């Protein structure tokens, strides 16, 4: 199971496919597929890219908080 559950919820809610996320962030679709299946986990750098893309915190992506704005002051 994925360790970044909110990522795939956000993608579904916003209608963003793995291909679009890959095109927009330059993260390969293979990496995204591996994250979804739990075969691998994203590096901190990739987590930052995805968090910035969705304008949420890394903690939110990881399911450690329910507040997507926890990174904002």
Closest alpha carbon to 3 in 46, 49, 36: 36
pLDDT of 73 strictly over 70 = no
Q: Which two tokens stand for residue 41?
A: 């986990």
User: 5-61, superfamily in CATH?
Assistant: lambda repressor-like DNA-binding domains (1.10.260.40)
Output the pLDDT for position 65. 85
Grouping H, G, I as helix, E, B as strand and the rest as coil, residue 70 is: coil
For residue 4, what pLDDT band results from cuts at 50, 70 and 90? confident
């Amino acid at each position: 199971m994925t360790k970044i559950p909110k990522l795939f919820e956000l993608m579904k809610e916003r209608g963003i496919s793995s291909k679009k996320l890959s095109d927009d962030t330059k993260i390969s679709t293979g990496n995204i597929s591996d994250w979804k299946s739990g075969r691998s986990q994203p590096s901190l750098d990739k987590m930052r890219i995805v968090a910035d893309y969705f304008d949420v915190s890394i903690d939110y992506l990881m399911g450690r908080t329910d507040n997507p704005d926890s990174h904002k002051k």
